A and B are shown apart, each in its own frame.
Chain A
């Protein structure tokens, strides 16, 4: 038996973050909070979502439990939830998840967790460069780049952090120097990524949210979003594009 009450915005964003990659996912109700992770069907990206126990208004978990959720459906329903509204999650038996908000009670059948794709381990990656910036700025850069290209280059050197996109006839460079960045360790790195994924990732972020980027050379990138006043941590790991010689 699980009973949890949480701010609408937090759970909405958490589910939205998962939907960006997969349609079914395992939710682990653990002692320290709610955790979920998954790899997308093309084996290119991974999402890791954590809602710490403290972010819940009520969090009673009699024993740790894993449920399989059709996140596509849940995401659709949660769209109607307002930001400040409270949402109650309830799992009484193996088969149903109850979501209550306002005067609506929504029940959805659970999926057998073993039927969902194997859950990945969280990879250990050596990523030299670390950049911390406002997620809203990053979102703007990605959305602009999406207009002209299907891939972007993330680059760092002593002068700051660059996002570069090249179309057939046009080019966008987004640059933030050390002064504009919240934190920057001045390491050099460069990798290329698909915008198709990035533009899904940034949907959960707004200005004021903090984004930490860990970048390497032709290596995956880790994007760690702290959203909803730090109540929710979403981490994306994205494999780089294979650059044609």
Chain B
């Protein structure tokens, strides 16, 4: 039996984690126990720090049934939606066949393990299905775990109570290892345990697995034994960057393959950090190799022929490494690629513009397409350059929020426009006096006579005309009402 399973904490007291985390989680569970539904918990953090263990130990401590959906099940959002959807709104029949009533605090914990791994792969609608579900106020506790919670949408994260786990400290790991050695009856050199713990890099699961591998068939572990069993450590991308840029080392290829990043992501990392290290001819050479790697990635995409990935990876790691003349020294602060953030920003901007277009389309009675092609630039121009009164009238007419105006005309202008509208009390539909109503008419006629006018003016007229039409409609309605009353 794997020690990782054998020594999985049974109760919350055995869990190795920060005190503050434990307190929060216990408080959360207690409130559930008292019958007060809570937000789901989202446990984020690197692998092997005890997210799943904490959830299971918590359920065990409070005597809750567990419905676990982990990555090993062939799960898609569809299945999650169905199972979770039913599990959270119904009472429980336990694995033992016992009926558990939530009234008596006998709950069932729904554990969604590694949600970040499902999210983007299968179907896109799935995550929003889960969001919809969580908004319906689940009646049973839910815990989600994720290695990288920021892969999840912000909306999903906001629906949960987010707890971030840190990598465990070496001394925390050593403590657990000592406990295991004691109960297995293995004499162990403390230095050996420290070496194992350090090697694991904050991953308790890895440390326990290493310990078991080393202890296999032994009664005693000495410090020397550990050196032999060097673990292929889980490298992070920064270490790989260092190896590429600082040294001439072909093993970086293997490291890159073991990395938890696809070549498509890795190339972006290298691309981002390349200019920080190389310059001149080196930089040129490196980019030539990198572009070749990119060509391979393109071929993979087009043909679905994933074996080409290895060439891409080889070129982008070893190829780039050997493009330099001599090893680099010093420390370089590598950066996260900005492109992903940019993509998100661009998408957000597009969404916001879409919502503006929808408002224009609705209020000017046209399709959003027409709004984009024929109205949008007018509105933009007017908001940016027209006098403040006209601009704020337009803004009010289209019911634009300050954020939306800021997107078009800049923040200070947006503030000015909104402020003006508030001060003057501009309403979307004004109560107009009879004369003004006719004035608008006259002006319209005049406009037809004088054809050559400034564009700016023209636009304002169009605007006025539109408002006039609106008013006319309004008037008409009013008139009808009064006539009806008169006759009846």
Contacts and interface: CB of A to CB of B under 8 A. Distances in A.
B137 interface: yes
A25 interface: no
A49 B310 CA distance: 53
Interface in A105-156: 117-118, 120-123, 125
B77 to A, nearest CB: 15
Given A239-B99, A242-B102, A120 B94 contact: yes
A239 B97 contact: no
Contact of B83 (A42, A117, A123): A42
Interface in B71-115: 82-87, 89-99, 101-103, 108
Interface in A162-204: 193-194, 196-197
B139 interface: yes
Contacts of B282: none
Contacts of B101: 218-219
B67 interface: yes
Contacts of B82: 42, 196
A120 B93 CA distance: 9
Contacts of B210: none
A122 B108 CA distance: 19
A81 interface: no
B65 interface: yes
Given A43-B65, A242-B139, A244-B139, A120 B87 contact: no
A42 B137 CA distance: 17
A121 B96 contact: yes
B428 to A, nearest CB: 31
Given A197-B86, A242-B102, A43 B97 contact: no
Interface in B46-74: 65, 67, 69
Given A197-B86, A242-B139, A45 B97 contact: no
B97 A121 contact: yes
Given A41-B67, A43-B65, A194-B86, A123 B91 contact: no
Nearest to A242: B139
A220 B86 contact: no
Given A42-B67, A44-B86, A220-B99, A244 B137 contact: yes
A194 B90 contact: yes
A69 interface: no
Given A123-B98, A239-B99, A242-B102, A46 B90 contact: no
A44 B87 contact: yes
Given A242-B102, A244-B137, A244-B139, A42 B97 contact: no
Nearest to B140: A242
Given A43-B108, A196-B86, A219 B99 contact: yes
B5 to A, nearest CB: 15
B84 A42 contact: yes
B32 to A, nearest CB: 12
B55 to A, nearest CB: 16
Contacts of B91: 44, 220, 239-242
Interface centre among A43, A196, A220 (most CB of B within 10 A): A43
Contacts, number: 82
Chain A: number of interface residues, binned into ranges: 20 to 34
A217 to B, nearest CB: 11
Interface of A is mostly: loop
Nearest to A45: B93
Interface in A1-59: 39, 41-46
Contacts of A220: 91, 93, 99
Interface string A56-88: 000000000000000000000000000000000
B93 A240 contact: no
A219 B67 CA distance: 20
A237 interface: yes
Contacts of A242: 89-91, 102, 139-140
Contacts of B108: 43
Contacts of A239: 90-93, 99
Contacts of A244: 137, 139
A45 B89 CA distance: 13
A241 B93 CA distance: 12
A211 B175 CA distance: 59
Interface centre among B93, B99, B103, B137 (most CB of A within 10 A): B93
B74 to A, nearest CB: 10
Given A43-B108, A244-B139, A123 B90 contact: no
Contact of A42 (B86, B96, B139): B86
B99 A241 contact: no
A237 B101 CA distance: 14
B93 A237 contact: yes
A43 B139 contact: no
A120 B95 CA distance: 5
B93 A46 contact: yes
Nearest to A237: B93
Given A46-B97, A244-B139, 17 more contacts: A39-B94, A41-B67, A42-B67, A42-B83, A42-B90, A43-B67, A43-B95, A120-B96, A121-B96, A196-B82, A196-B85, A219-B101, A220-B93, A220-B99, A240-B90, A242-B139, A244-B137
27 contacts: A41-B67, A41-B69, A42-B82, A42-B87, A43-B92, A44-B86, A44-B87, A44-B91, A44-B92, A44-B93, A46-B97, A117-B95, A118-B96, A120-B94, A120-B95, A121-B97, A193-B90, A196-B85, A196-B86, A220-B91, A239-B91, A239-B99, A240-B90, A240-B91, A241-B89, A241-B91, A242-B90
